[in-house]
Structure 1
Amino acid sequence: MLAFTLVFTGLMAGTYEATREPIARSAAAEQLRLINEVLPPASYDNTLLNDVRTLGATPELGLPKGGRIWRARKNGQPVALVFEAIAPDGYAGAIKLVIAVGADGRVGGVRVTDHHETPGLGDYIDPKKDKNKASPWVEQFVGKTLATLPLERWKVKKDGGEFNYRTGATISPRAVTNAVARAVQYASTQRDALYQ
């Protein structure tokens, strides 16, 4: 039994060592692919995954346990911040997001990375599940800034704001819209500190 345990442990350790690096490369590639959905790769020239800042608890972004911000730069100058954020108030729980905010305060893109919203009803917040492939719901944030759209207008139209929603599914877009507004405001107030 002891010999079996030693051989099995050795095999497991060997398998772990053999697969650790390929798994890490695959995870990094997937992370970069997701970031590049909200921030065009040609807009920055730094090694984005290495220019990351780890945040402690950041309630402004819905991150009670903290999260990460990637800092995009071109020729050493700030281009954009890519935030992890959570909308805690989705219909079926937390909605995880990645949001790019340019150095000029413009939203570069928004992607839902995880949610449990009702299939066929509230899941259109995720462009992969949105039936409108020509103009996915999340694309309406792109280009918006606090300078052109005051914070009080960062709401769905049902609540007197600027952003569309689909009838029968207001809670999910309301949660995402509020999370994006908080991220844009956080980027605006913390910009200089976040790029350091």
Structure 2
Amino acid sequence: MIPSMTRNGLLLALFGLAAAGLVALTHEGTKDRIAEQQKQQLVATLAQILPGDLYNNAPHDDCRLLQSRQYLGTREPQPAFIARRDSEPVAMAMETVAPDGYNGDIHLIVGIRWNGEILGVRTLNHNETPGLGDLIDIRRSDWVTRFSGYQLESEKDPRFAVKRDGGEFDQFTGATITPRAYVKAVKNALIYFNSNKAKLLQAPRCWSENEQGAQP
């Protein structure tokens, strides 16, 4: 006869194996759907910041990895999506990070025409305070749309700051840290783009051509 303690241990082990198998099966059954949802979300976001009449390729499939802790706010490589017309680059959407948000990193994406003009900006992810710092979210406010049309005149362009610091962008009532960090991140992305334009197209691809069809 198996002692009750051993029997209970075996039952727990079998239960754990069954649970692990169920999780694995669930993941396998949903990963393609999740990947497709992520792809559709990316396509929708790019459509908001890259006007469709500019290009005739699929920018979400033409992805490069850019890296600069100084200007992109993180050590991690950031994806950038190239918009082309008849194979010639006309714009790029660069993901970047504002590392000094009030509640941590703010992830955003900046659409830039090849001449350096901002086409659009959207927030991808953040943990800013609801009702205050979350006005960077297009679902809460149109604040991010104010960047469209700007070009960087120099690395010290004074317009790229909140009004409290002498710039042209509104701060939020009771929440200056968030917009200050956000404006700085957009400015740094422009500096990086303008300084590295000749190298951007030679940056590593986000995935190999063989993997491309499986990527979100």
TM-score bin, normalised by smaller chain: 0.7 to 0.9
Taking structure 1 as the reference length, the TM-score comes to: 0.85
What does residue 45 of structure 1 align with? 56
One-letter amino acid of the counterpart of residue 85, structure 1: T
From 62, 65, 90, give the equivalent of 1:79: 90
Root-mean-square deviation (CA), in Å?
Answer: 2.5
State the 1:43 CA deviation: 2.2
Amino acid at match of 2:135: Y
**1:101-130 superposed Cα distances (whole Å, 9 cap, x missing partner):** 110100011111111212112211112112
SS of alignment partner, residue 76 of structure 2: coil
1:53 CA drift (Å): 0.6
Shift of 1:46: 1.2
Cα 1:149/1:61, change in 2 over 3 Å: closer
Identify the residue that residue 167 of structure 1 maps to in structure 2: 173
Question: Is 1:104 aligned with 2:115?
Answer: yes
**Matching residue's letter, 1:111:** R
Query: Equivalent residue of 1:64, what SS?
Result: strand
- Bigger mean CA deviation after superposition, 139-148 or 109-118: 139-148
In structure 2, C-alpha distance between the alignment counterparts of 1:72 and 1:79, rounded to whole Å: 6
Counterpart in 2 of 1:27? 38
Residues 13-70 of structure 1: per-residue CA shift (max 9 Å, x gap): 5554443323222211111111212112332211212210113454311121221111
Aligned length: 191
Distance 1:36 1:44 in 2: 11
Alignment partner of 2:128 out of 93, 117, 130: 117
CA contact (8 A) 2:55 2:85 kept: yes
Aligned-pair identity in percent equals 39
TM-score normalised to structure 2 length: 0.78
**For residue 194 of structure 2, what is the aligned residue in structure 1?**
188
Q: Tell me: higher relative CO, structure 1 or 2? Use CA pairs within 8 A at least 6 residues apart.
A: 2
Compared with structure 1, are the counterparts of its residues 149 and 108 closer, same or farther at alpha carbon in structure 2 (3 Å cutoff)?
A: farther
Q: Secondary structure at the match of 1:151?
A: coil
| Correspondence for 1:145 among 151, 154, 160 | 151
The unaligned stretches of length 5 or more in structure 1 are: 131-135
Structure number with larger C-alpha Rg: 2
On the 8 A contact 2:155/2:191 being kept in 1, the answer is: no
Give the Å deviation of 1:158.
0.7
Within 1, Cα distance between the matches of 2:28 and 2:172? 49
